Amino acid sequence: MAKHESKYEPVIGLEIHTELKTKTKMFCASKNDPDERHPNINICPICTGQPGTLPVINQEAVNKVIKVGLALQSKISEITKWDRKNYFYPDLPKGYQISQYDEPICLGGKLLIPGTGKEINITRIHLEEDTGRLLHEGHIGHSLVDFNRAGVPLMELVTEPDLNSGEEASAFAQELQLILRYLGVSDADMEKGQLRVEANISLRESVVLGTKVEIKNLNSFKAVRDAIDYEIKRQAKLIDEGKKVVQETRGWNEDTGKTISQRGKEESHDYRYFPEPDLPPLKINFDLVEEIKTTMPELPSEKRSRFNAQYGLSDSQITILVGNEKLAGFFENVVSEFMNWDKEGLDKDSLLAPELDTSPHFIEKEKQLIINLSANYLLSDFLGLLNESSAEIDDIKITAENFAEWACLIHRNVITSRAAKEVLKEMWATGKDPSQVIREKDLVQVKDSDELEKVAQKIIDENSEAVSDYKKGKTASLQFLVGQVMKETRGKANPESVSEILKKLLK
């Protein structure tokens, strides 16, 4: 990570709030639905703070926090309790928030920022309830409140002040988001407010820490990076001018690229924490913890290591695949199809069937080439089609088996790379297998040198000016002639073969 150029060392800690993916809210049976667009639908007397109501703990939410703690090597507390965090705001119907103060579910832990070797220590992970949501309608002169979000299970993760730049903080948040998604505990969509980052920043020139400033509600990874880097420069400038850094809470203005003062920073005593009288302390069942351990999936860091060792992929390929768990799963299914093929297993109508050598020697010799080819096409043409159609892997018509066959057809020169793009688009649109598409569109690669020579000679005869330019040393003219041959053969000729034939004929 690039270090900030300053005589001051930035000291940064993060507080990250994550809405958990549960069926119901944290302390009531109201539906937890982040996609509900009608205001005040998923509410009840409990989450709207009506007098005489009593909260009931959502076991699913507790289990999900334990799962995160296990993934981050935290210590799971044997006893945890609930506390009231008191403050008044229009979107907080009870006038307090049920949270955890001094006895959280998870203590300690660590997260490694990918590609840096830098480990960030975690202070705690606790569980609380979310607030409602305010909508500021300027044109009608007042604000509206939606309580659909009030009471949604909210996990808060607090780091040690181990970060030193906006880039590091952004990378930490991205890796945490990926872990949360792999665990299935949250969609962690920042645009929907399901993952919200707050940063505490101070500067020090020696061992003495400077005044801490908090930046609230950063809702994109770019905002995390840019807001922190701006705040570092702002504080450094104040100190250099002999001015004091004020302890306060600031917001980030995306349009101006500056942080703005919002209010004085509260301390914990300002919230008048006290034990929640309506909820007893919660004793964690360690048989349950062991059971949760058995459901832990492969984590992003583990998948990166395995993809490197097992498939020999580049760091850039691994980064994209691991960043999209379903795409990584599709890739592995493609590789599995290829590795498990034998002549009897191939469809008799496949264009590979007559010539595909499936002996162990071939598989060992060729597998890395086909793995790399499959990965390259997945991360270029295939991903392009996926993004263009705004589709999910689950929605596509191409099967892993057909994609594997398609990749092998390219590798075995049954079709050219140009024809392959046409075949892939047809497979995407129809779900047909590649051999069927190739036959229907007559796209089998032309390998007959006599036939290619005839086409090349025809192109030479029709393009005397380009021929003359090539003989004068203009190499670009050869590429033009190659393109014309490819056009004439509808992309069925191998460009390298065409180039060699043209050179021979033009001597």
The string of DSSP letters for 403-462 reads HHHHHHHHHTTSS-HHHHHHHHHHHHHH---HHHHHHHHT-PPB--HHHHHHHHHHHHHH
68-94 residue pLDDT tens: 999 999 999 999 999 999 988 889 999
Burial class (CB in 10 A: 0-12, 13-18, 19+), 242: exposed
Q: Say if residue 374's pLDDT is above 90.
A: yes
**Paired sense of beta strands 96-99 and 118-129, if any:** unpaired
The CATH number fitting domain 449-505, selected from 1.10.10.410, 3.30.420.40, 3.30.470.20, 3.40.50.970:
1.10.10.410
- What average pLDDT score do residues 342-354 get? 56
Query: Which residue, 4, 11, 13, is CA-closest to 199?
Result: 13
Q: Reply yes or no on whether the pLDDT at 478 is more than 60.
A: yes
Say if residue 148's pLDDT is above 90: yes
Which of 435, 437, 416 lies closest to 490 in space, CA to CA?
416
Distance (Å, whole) CA 298 – CA 317 = 18
CB burial of 140-165 (b: ≥16 within 10 Å; e: otherwise) equals eeeeebbbbbbbbbbbbbbbbbbbbb
Tell me how crowded residue 308 is: count the other CB atoms within 10 A of its CB. Answer: 14
As a three-state string, the secondary structure of 28-40 is: CCCECCCCCCCCC
Euclidean distance between CA atoms 55 and 85, whole angstroms: 15
Give the start-to-end residue ranges of the domains of the chain: 11-267, 300-441, 449-505
* pLDDT value for 195: 97
pLDDT for 408: 86
Give the pLDDT mean for 435-439: 90
CB atoms within 10 A of CB 397: 12
Decide which of 419 and 223 is more confident. Answer: 223
Cα–Cα distance, 395 to 298 (Å, whole number) = 24
Helices marked H in 252-323: 286-293, 300-311, 315-323
Tell me the mean pLDDT in the region 39-62: 96
Q: What is the pLDDT of residues 111-143, one digit of tens each?
A: 999 989 999 999 999 999 999 998 887 666 788
Q: How confident is the model at residue 362 (pLDDT cuts 50, 70, 90)?
A: low
Place 344 in a pLDDT band, splitting at 50, 70 and 90: very low
Q: Name the band, by pLDDT with cuts 50, 70 and 90, for residue 2.
A: very low
- Pairing type for strands 195-204 and 9-19 reads antiparallel
Percent of the chain past pLDDT 90, that is, above it, reads 66
